[in-house]
Amino acid sequence: MDSLPPVYSGLRRRATAASTTVGERQRSGHPARGPSSQAVWHRNAAQWSHVGAPLRPGPHDTAFSLGAMAAWEARNGSDSPVVAVLGVTPELCRLSAAASGRFTAIDKSADMIRSNWRTADCPNGTVICADWLSMPCPPASIDLVLGDGSLSVLSYPDGYLRLGRELQRLLRANGQCIIRCFVRPDTAETPERIFEDLLDGRIGNFHVLKWRLAMALQPGIQEGIAVGLVWSALNREWPDLAALAARCRWPLDEVRTIEAYLGIDTRYTFPTMAEYRQVLAEAGFTIRNVCVPAYELGDRCPTIVLESTARA
């Protein structure tokens, strides 16, 4: 098995050490939008165990990612890829136990690292507290990049292009990126329609409701959507979260995850698939494969496999 490039040796650290140096930084690559832009990641870390699909990958997603990694190994005659994970999503880090190679998880939020990183979940890996837009890795040192919703925390198009340039720098000539994306439908929903579906029992879990609202409220891709506006929209319709949980028979702890958005101006971006293709092409990538999962809202959460056209 190949080891990580030597430059990593001085940069590896456990989450406890990382938190002492970057406690005030915000998550990788997300533009600062105001004094509370870091707070959403602190709050998310505290409640992450209550976050579920489609905000987190399901078995269908991880099985596809594992298969894509195996296909890359077969094509390239390698059984020891160097893998970078954008973030500390437990479901992706745990792939280390089933896949060969060496994993390095990279996240800018010390809170998320403290909350989610478990060495036992990633036996062949380590964690680095760093910015995705300037990762402490040498050029052409990474074979595979994994990510879950990573692009949606960036500004569009600038943040996407900056990350694209960084990935082009890090990837070896035959490298690939395997990233689950959050995709806004070509025809946007209205919040009114979403709340009608809620009352009619056509929304399966709270996280589906939250993500549909976020996408519907986004006025444009360059503006993105401030997560505080998602809380406000729900609060106008359902100020009593306990009543909402009881009506829909959803766990109250899951419904209360919306409270992480209260007063927060951090923005997410939800491109359409055409907008994804456009910005990825500009960044020098082409989509080799797409997997659309079968779970509710899965059509808006495809995993894409990217290859560089810059080195083709």
Residue 2 has pLDDT above 60, yes or no: no
Q: Do 46 and 115 contact (CB within 8 A), yes or no?
A: yes
pLDDT tens, 3-39? Answer: 333 333 333 333 333 332 222 233 334 433 443 455 5
Q: Cα 301 to the chain's mean position, in Å?
A: 11
Q: Do 147 and 179 contact (CB within 8 A), yes or no?
A: yes
pLDDT tens, 207-234? Answer: 999 999 999 999 999 999 999 999 999 9
Q: How high is the pLDDT of residue 119?
A: 83
3-class DSSP string for 67-81: HHHHHHHHHHCCCCC
Name residue, tokens 């059984």.
79
pLDDT tens, 92-145? Answer: 999 988 887 899 999 998 888 988 898 878 888 999 999 999 999 999 999 999
Q: How high is the pLDDT of residue 50?
A: 74
Residue 259 has pLDDT above 70, yes or no: yes
Domains of the chain, by residue range, sit at: 6-31+56-183+271-308, 191-268
Average pLDDT over residues 228-253: 97
Residue 294 CB neighbours (<10 A)? 8
pLDDT tens, 172-204? Answer: 999 999 999 999 999 999 999 999 999 999 999
What's the chain's average pLDDT? Answer: 86
The structure tokens listed for 254 are 């899951």
Closest CA to 230 of 241, 245, 215: 215
Report the b/e string of 138-157 with b at 16+ CB within 10 A. eeebbbbbbbbbbbbbbbbb
Residue 44 has pLDDT above 90, yes or no: no
Closest CA to 225 of 187, 179, 191, 178: 191
Q: How high is the pLDDT of residue 18?
A: 32
Pick the CATH number of 6-31+56-183+271-308 from 2.20.25.10, 3.90.320.10, 3.40.50.300, 3.40.50.150: 3.40.50.150
Q: How high is the pLDDT of residue 100?
A: 78
Residue 201 CB neighbours (<10 A)? 10
> What is the percent of the chain with per-residue pLDDT over 70, rounded to a whole number?
84
Intra-chain end-to-end CA distance of the chain, in Å? 27
As a whole number of angstroms, the distance between CA 150 and CA 130 comes to 14
As a whole number of angstroms, the distance between CA 138 and CA 120 comes to 27
Residue 302, amino acid: P
Q: Do 191 and 217 contact (CB within 8 A), yes or no?
A: yes
> What is the percent of the chain with per-residue pLDDT over 90, rounded to a whole number?
73
